[in-house]
A and B are shown apart, each in its own frame.
Chain A
């Protein structure tokens, strides 16, 4: 491991990241909200930390190895969440304790959308914007952004990119060069965001809310500038826009890339993962709508449809916007919706969860075992579309699933140990690990009522979910550190 080159890259990344503070700083200055010092301090602090990291080792020009990539990514996300918490602590409003601030900052960056703040509507605009911005940057991945804008990362960029991008198969570059791939991803992301903001504005949000919500929609985050989330607007048109863009953001971005290159939307439907994604969400939506209507939760069919569909998509894609208190819905619905968030978005999207493609692979692998019992001599490959998946990928997915469930169990037990009730503990871990946001029970509306230890555990869960477990867990193995 080359600690000096890791340090150099970390320093560079931090200096780039310090610019995150500039837009909210500008807003604070223009509106004269009196929180400029918070952002200024954070900006200066991050820049200085970056410089201090970078200066002593700026001449190191070693290429990153795969192992170094994991370390850089995890360190960077952790440090970023730490410094991201600074404005929340320093500003007069919300002026949170550090634990809460860290939780909020991590929740933003990992696009979870779980919040500990109540009274979001009364926060200064700059802080509201800052929260949304954190989500937006975390959505596509700050490292992917850095790879796009810092050509000197060069070959090392691939290692970083691989450690940060979600999905079981990470080597399918869209373009021959990693920098170009990262740029393409960010152009698509930017394009979606602009389209989303314009649509929100068009259907009646004010420009500030439109931009702020477009950030958290396209990032599949779930932060809002209102306590009532999207429900605040009471507008089916806005909900429709949100549904469309949540769906789009949950699709593999390389599909967007191909569709845009070929200028044909047909390529979406040729992708088996996309078909499965749409099927799962439609199924969840139909079940939700029917059950809501039949159980009398919403006596008007129209209400049942728009709440049911919105909530199914919002939770299924792991966004976590709410229009209604879904955690108070009757029967199995809240838990079913929470389960769909385990499936989550497609690989290579901004969505969380375990990713549709992994579930598809697990499902097919299960079917294969059944087939093997009937035909012991048969050769049955696991196929996605018409392509057989390498055994290596199938194995990796099983490993991932096992560890995911394991981590889930351990963290849930930890939360129970701190004194939370079962429903709260279960849903909080699920919502954080899947980067969903709102849970059930005590954590339905917000997370401020739970104890500090739980908040740290959940912060860890969010990072674990965002970096897809292995990137983070590999650092905890002795083999990683052995030379």
Chain B
């Protein structure tokens, strides 16, 4: 696929890196030559320097035969105009733009084909915020990912000594919880993937990915670790885009305190937020944290732009007694360094964002893509089309489908009905199938499975 990415910021460059590894032709446009140079040195892409919305620049970037344009510069206006230019001059089929300002987003009519022709609007801040929100909602989970509009969720949980299922075989799960249906999709033990079988024994410290209907998540989590009390008090460090959005989203359900170090921003935040308490100060200030009862805080989220500060303030909060700490970390190497020991959950904004872009890159009818384990693994929701003669999945039981190695089918969503996959579940046309790939290298095989054979047409 030929893809043009406008803007080499955090989102732009990490997407470029991720997509370039999948045999796509990527061109990145940005105004800053040195950033582009740096990017080009590291990954196999073409770069063009210039203003992203100018037709000349887009032509130079190869817009004439591009399949997709992804506008993620830091200006909403440039992103919107670039999509308009791509539509009018180059007829680019897929136009994705990042638009942040709710002042625009509140008027969906603006983005219709006859107005500003943008096919997909993405808002990384919104995705990250929702991601964190789900984590707060499910204490104990490392990751919570939605499929089929939230009816099915994929949850990553670290098994802890004392959980009823820990030290037992997976097949006992059904005896433990008669009414609850869940399927373990993958287990990562000391960084290596294990394909779960009936006789696999779960050990403490395993990272277990399971698929279940939303209502069963809590019960399943409690099998793997002692159930934690629901979260009531949340402290957020950093009142940037994500911090503010998160506080706005959860302040009705939780007691929220938001720490911000700039007086102007703190004032603006306090005017925007209704119930949250905005504190002016440094999130790494021990006095301030103690003053605000850090020891009774259920979740501490460090969400500033500065990842080192995030890590340090989270570690401090943890030491002072916060029950769980989360930290926004961009650099993959840092994630490995701190996750699970110093910090409970490292949140990678790129990973939360990339999935929604991959959805449009994948061939076949793929509805949702979630990138996992720093892009090595992937969970996707694909729609099965055709019939038993044209499709490689429809009309077959899960046992009969020739899945690539390391791939499991977790659940099938048929209309409103959620079916947790068993070996004898039969896939019907238009089923949404949730798959888990331990190794993303096999993604092409999975795409093949869900592409309808030529005879269909």
Contact = CB atoms under 8 A, between A and B. Distances in A.
B288 A379 contact: no
Nearest to B279: A377
B270 A377 contact: no
Contacts of B384: none
Interface in B265-324: 266-267, 269-271, 274, 277-281, 288, 291-292
A379 B269 contact: yes
B279 A378 contact: yes
Given A375-B279, A377-B281, A388 B292 contact: no
A378 B291 contact: no
Interface string B178-209: 00000000000000000000000000000000
B258 to A, nearest CB: 9
A5 to B, nearest CB: 41
Contact of A377 (B267, B274, B291): B291
Contacts of B291: 375-377
Contacts of A169: none
A386 B266 contact: no
Given A375-B277, A375-B279, A381 B270 contact: yes
A283 interface: no
A387 B278 CA distance: 16
B274 A379 contact: no
Contact of A381 (B271, B281, B288, B292): B271
Contacts of A388: 270-271
A193 B37 CA distance: 75
B280 A377 contact: yes
Nearest to A389: B271
A380 interface: yes
Contacts, number: 37
A378 B271 contact: no
Interface string A370-400: 0100011111110100111000000000000
A378 B275 CA distance: 12
The bracket for how many chain B residues form the interface is: 10 to 19
B255 to A, nearest CB: 12
Given A375-B292, A376-B291, A381 B277 contact: no
A386 B291 CA distance: 28
Contacts of A380: 270, 277-278
Contacts of A383: 271, 274
Contacts of B279: 375, 377-379
B270 A386 contact: no
A34 B288 CA distance: 81
A388 B280 CA distance: 17
A109 B281 CA distance: 54
A96 to B, nearest CB: 55
A305 to B, nearest CB: 38
B274 A378 contact: no
Contacts of B277: 371, 375, 378, 380
Interface string B20-53: 0000000000000000000000000000000000
Q: Which of A381, A383, A387 counts the most chain B CB atoms within 10 A? A: A381
Contacts of B270: 378-381, 388
Given A375-B292, A377-B288, A379-B266, A386 B278 contact: no
A386 B263 CA distance: 20
B403 to A, nearest CB: 52
B280 A386 contact: no
A388 B269 CA distance: 11
Contacts of A378: 270, 277-280
Contacts of A387: 271
A27 to B, nearest CB: 55
A383 B281 CA distance: 22
A376 B287 CA distance: 11
Q: Which of A371, A376, A378 counts the most chain B CB atoms within 10 A? A: A378
B292 A379 contact: no
A381 B280 CA distance: 13
A376 B292 CA distance: 9
A268 B288 CA distance: 42
Nearest to B265: A379
Interface in B323-368: none
Nearest to B282: A377
A387 B263 CA distance: 19
Contacts of A381: 267, 270-271
Nearest to B285: A377
Contacts of B267: 379, 381
A375 B255 CA distance: 14
Nearest to B263: A379
Given A377-B281, A378-B279, A381-B267, A386 B274 contact: yes
A388 B267 CA distance: 10
A378 B263 CA distance: 11
Contacts of B281: 377
A380 B277 CA distance: 7
Contacts of B292: 375, 377
Nearest to A388: B271
Given A377-B292, A380-B277, 12 more contacts: A375-B279, A375-B291, A377-B291, A378-B278, A378-B279, A379-B269, A379-B270, A379-B278, A379-B279, A379-B280, A381-B270, A383-B271
30 contacts: A371-B277, A375-B277, A375-B279, A375-B291, A375-B292, A376-B291, A377-B279, A377-B280, A377-B281, A377-B288, A377-B291, A377-B292, A378-B277, A378-B279, A379-B263, A379-B266, A379-B267, A379-B278, A379-B279, A379-B280, A380-B278, A381-B267, A381-B270, A381-B271, A383-B271, A383-B274, A386-B274, A387-B271, A388-B270, A388-B271
Interface of B: 263, 266-267, 269-271, 274, 277-281, 288, 291-292
Interchain residue pairs A-B with the least CB separation, the first 9: A388-B271, A379-B270, A379-B278, A379-B266, A377-B279, A377-B281, A381-B270, A378-B277, A381-B271
